[in-house]
Amino acid sequence: AYLFFVRRIGPGYYLQARWWRTAVPFADKRAHMNKNEYNEFIDRWNRRPYQKSSQHKVIEKAILQLVGVPTPEFIGFIHPQRGARADGTALRSLADLDALCRGLVGRKICFKLVEGYGGAGFFAFQVEERAGQPVFVHPFTGAVTALAEWWQQAGGNRDGYIVEHYLPQHPVLAAIHPNSLNTLRIWLYQARGECRIAGAFLRVGRKGSLVDNTSSGGIFCPVDLATGTLTHAANAKNPLDTMDVHPDTGGRISGVQLPYWRECQEVAMRALQAFPHVNVAGVDVAIGVDGPRMIELNVRPDQIGCARINLPLKQVDRWMSAA
């Protein structure tokens, strides 16, 4: 009642945080922020004019590559007026896409909306040749899509798509759920030249989905920061539903050691430091066979993540505000 009527923190947040656990001190619960406080916190530490800099995936990728933060390999930017490949060749029409794909036969690629959220507008395909023409083949179902069919479906998006080589994930993560690229959401903040990791959880896809976003039905797995091991998994739609193995694949989750955990934290901090006047973020990191790759930086991450990793932002705010 106190949290709801005085702190304006609702029962949904309470359930996601699993605050019935006596292990969580009431002082920590009180130090979580309500929605208005959260928005004020983000705008205080991430200057509004700079917040869009990381929300356009081409701009974001250019900044990260400029300072040497590893990302999935860039192929091009599809846009009817400004589209271009990495080598500067035009990528503005179906004919341009056809020419590109003829050089990618046998490769697995992905398309992302330049300003997409929650896994919306994500496509992954194996490029193959059928009857002398390049086609898109779904990597798991084998369904074939003609380039013209995909272009008709997706080509009208006014913001365009970024095209990348698909990143093969580390076998440890593939063993949990192989169809989705399972990524870490790492919360971090910085002040006075010091960058700190606040918490992290692994997002894992469900039922053959290509995306791992919890908004698309995925599960989340909190990470023990000291060791880089997964503590358990939980269903985002029903936080009472916790599990030790993946509900669809049976892949082990609890106690699994994340590979390259130290390097993942380093990549996250380097990514945050690359963006001017951005001091708080939820960074998405994938773990490839040979190490982590930065996927995207979120300057206003979904606040419910604070509940999932027990992150009292008022304590963070006090540290950041200290002289």
- Whether the CB-CB separation of 108 and 139 falls below 8 Å is answered with yes
- Name the maximum alpha-carbon separation found in the chain: 68
Whether 174 has a pLDDT exceeding 70, the answer reads: yes
Give 184-197 pLDDT, tens digit per residue.
999 999 999 999 99
Whether 151 has a pLDDT exceeding 90, the answer reads: yes
Q: What is the pTM of this model?
A: 0.94
Q: What per-residue confidence (pLDDT) applies to 252?
A: 97
- Nearest Cα residue to 167 out of 242, 78, 230, 107: 107
Q: What is the DSSP letter of 121?
A: T
What six digits make up the tokens of 121? Answer: 């507008």
Whether 155 has a pLDDT exceeding 70, the answer reads: no
Task: Please give the Cα distance from 77 to 86 (Å, whole number).
Answer: 8
11 burial via Cβ count (<10 Å: 0-12, 13-18, 19+):
exposed
Q: What is the DSSP letter of 221?
A: E
31 burial via Cβ count (<10 Å: 0-12, 13-18, 19+):
middle
Instruction: List, in sequence order, every residue forming a beta bridge with 194; answer none if it has no partner.
Output: 191
Give 216-267 pLDDT, tens digit per residue.
788 999 999 999 999 999 988 888 889 999 999 999 999 999 999 999 999 9
Q: How many angstroms separate the Cα of 80 from the Cα of each of 142, 154, 167, 174, 281?
A: 29, 12, 26, 36, 32
Q: φ and ψ at 126, to 5 degrees?
A: -95, 130
Q: What per-residue confidence (pLDDT) applies to 323?
A: 61
Whether 208 has a pLDDT exceeding 80, the answer reads: no
Mean pLDDT of 46-65: 93
What six digits make up the tokens of 10? Answer: 């609702």
Whether 117 has a pLDDT exceeding 90, the answer reads: no
Task: Please give the Cα distance from 51 to 299 (Å, whole number).
Answer: 6
Mean pLDDT of 71-77: 97
Q: What per-residue confidence (pLDDT) applies to 259?
A: 98
Q: What per-residue confidence (pLDDT) applies to 157?
A: 74
Rounded to the nearest angstrom, the gap between the alpha carbon of residue 103 and the centroid of all alpha carbons in its chain is 29
Half-sphere exposure of 274 (CA within 13 A, CB side): 24
Mean pLDDT of 136-153: 93
Q: Which amino acid is at 42?
A: I
Q: What is the DSSP letter of 162?
A: E
Q: φ and ψ at 216, to 5 degrees?
A: -105, 15
Exposure b/e, 86-125, CB count within 10 A at least 16 = b: eeeeebbeeebbeebbeebeeeebbbbbbebeebebbbbb
For residue 182, give the 3-state DSSP assignment.
Answer: coil
Return mean pLDDT, the chain. 94
Q: What per-residue confidence (pLDDT) applies to 62?
A: 95
- Whether the CB-CB separation of 150 and 198 falls below 8 Å is answered with no
72 burial via Cβ count (<10 Å: 0-12, 13-18, 19+):
buried
Whether 118 has a pLDDT exceeding 80, the answer reads: no
Q: Which amino acid is at 254?
A: S
- Nearest Cα residue to 78 out of 155, 166, 165: 155
Residue 151 neighbours by CB distance under 10 Å: 17
